[in-house]
Amino acid sequence: MSADFEELSVGFEPRPRMNADNSLSGLLDRRALLGGLTAMAGAGLAAAFPGSALAAGDPNACRSMIGPKDTWIRGLPVIDAHCHIFNARDIPAIHFITKVFVPQYAVNLSAANKRRLASEISDFASQALGRTPSFEQERAVLEARLAGEPELAALAGSPALPKFARGSDRSSFGADVADNITAVRNLIAILTGFRHKNFEALSATNALSRPDTGVALFTPAMVDMDFWLGAGGESESSVGDLGTDASSLRQNAPARQVELMEMIQRLYPGRCHGFVSFCPWRQVDDLHHNATVGEGSGRRRQTALETVQDAILNRGFLGVKLYPPMGFAPLGNAALPPGAFPDALADTPYARDFGTLLDEALLGLYRFCVTNDVPVMAHGAPSNGAGAFTNSAGRKMDYALRAHPEGWRKVLEQPGLSALKLNFAHFGGSRDTGERPEWRATIGAMMDAYPNIYTDLSHYPEMLMDSYTGTGQRCSAAARALDPIRKEFLKSEAGVKRARRMLYGSDWSMLSKEFYYADYLPVVAHMYRRKIYGVGQGAEKNAQAFLSYNAAEFLGLRAGEKARTRLEAWYARHGLDPAPLRRFDAVGG
Ligand SMILES: [Zn+2]
- Find the domain containing 128 and state its range: 50-238+246-551
Q: How far is the CA of 575 from the centre of ligand 1 (A)?
A: 31
pLDDT at 320: 98
Q: In what order do the strands lie in the sheet with 376-379?
A: 275-277, 319-322, 376-379, 422-425, 453-456, 502-503
Q: How far is the CA of 377 from the centre of ligand 1 (A)?
A: 9
Q: How far is the CA of 505 from the centre of ligand 1 (A)?
A: 9
**Helix H or strand E encompassing 453:** strand 453-456
Q: How far is the CA of 471 from the centre of ligand 1 (A)?
A: 33
Q: In what order do the strands lie in the sheet with 213-220?
A: 77-83, 213-220, 207-210
C-alpha closest to that of 424 among 502, 481, 524: 502
Domain presence at residue 576: no
pLDDT at 207: 74
Task: Give the chain's count of helices (H) and strands (E).
Answer: 20, 11
Q: How far apart are CA 561 and CA 65, in angstroms?
A: 35
Instruction: Give how many domains the chain has, as a whole number.
Output: 1
* HEC secondary structure over 73-113: HCCCEEEEEEECCCCCCCCCHHHHHHHHHHHHHCCCCCHHH
C-alpha closest to that of 363 among 424, 445, 305, 443: 305
C-alpha closest to that of 152 among 271, 43, 313, 264: 43
pLDDT at 29: 42
Q: How far is the CA of 504 from the centre of ligand 1 (A)?
A: 12
C-alpha closest to that of 497 among 424, 448, 533: 448
Q: How far apart are CA 308 and CA 375, in angstroms?
A: 12
Q: How far is the CA of 547 from the centre of ligand 1 (A)?
A: 17
CA angle 577, 266, 277 (to 5 degrees): 125
Q: How far apart are CA 177 and CA 421, in angstroms?
A: 40
Which residues lie across from 453 on neighbouring strands? 422
Domain presence at residue 37: no
Q: How far is the CA of 493 from the centre of ligand 1 (A)?
A: 31
Q: How far is the CA of 202 from the centre of ligand 1 (A)?
A: 13
Domain presence at residue 587: no
Domain presence at residue 286: yes
DSSP designation for 546 = I
Its pTM stands at: 0.86
State the DSSP string of 293-354: H-TT-TTPPPPHHHHHHHHHHHS---EEEE-GGGT--SS-GGGS-GGGS-GGGGGSTTSTTH
Domain presence at residue 28: no
Q: How far is the CA of 510 from the centre of ligand 1 (A)?
A: 7
Domain presence at residue 35: no
Q: How far is the CA of 84 from the centre of ligand 1 (A)?
A: 7
Domain presence at residue 4: no
Q: How far is the CA of 23 from the centre of ligand 1 (A)?
A: 32
Average pLDDT of adjacent 10-residue blocks, the chain of 589 residues = 26 29 34 32 27 40 69 93 93 78 70 75 72 90 93 74 53 60 75 91 79 90 90 44 52 94 97 98 97 94 97 98 96 90 90 96 98 97 83 84 94 98 92 84 97 95 65 73 93 92 94 80 90 90 96 96 97 96 78
Q: How far is the CA of 82 from the centre of ligand 1 (A)?
A: 6
Domain presence at residue 475: yes
pLDDT at 429: 84
Q: How far is the CA of 225 from the centre of ligand 1 (A)?
A: 13
SS3 185: helix
Neighbours of ion ligand 1 (CB under 5 A): 507
DSSP designation for 275 = E
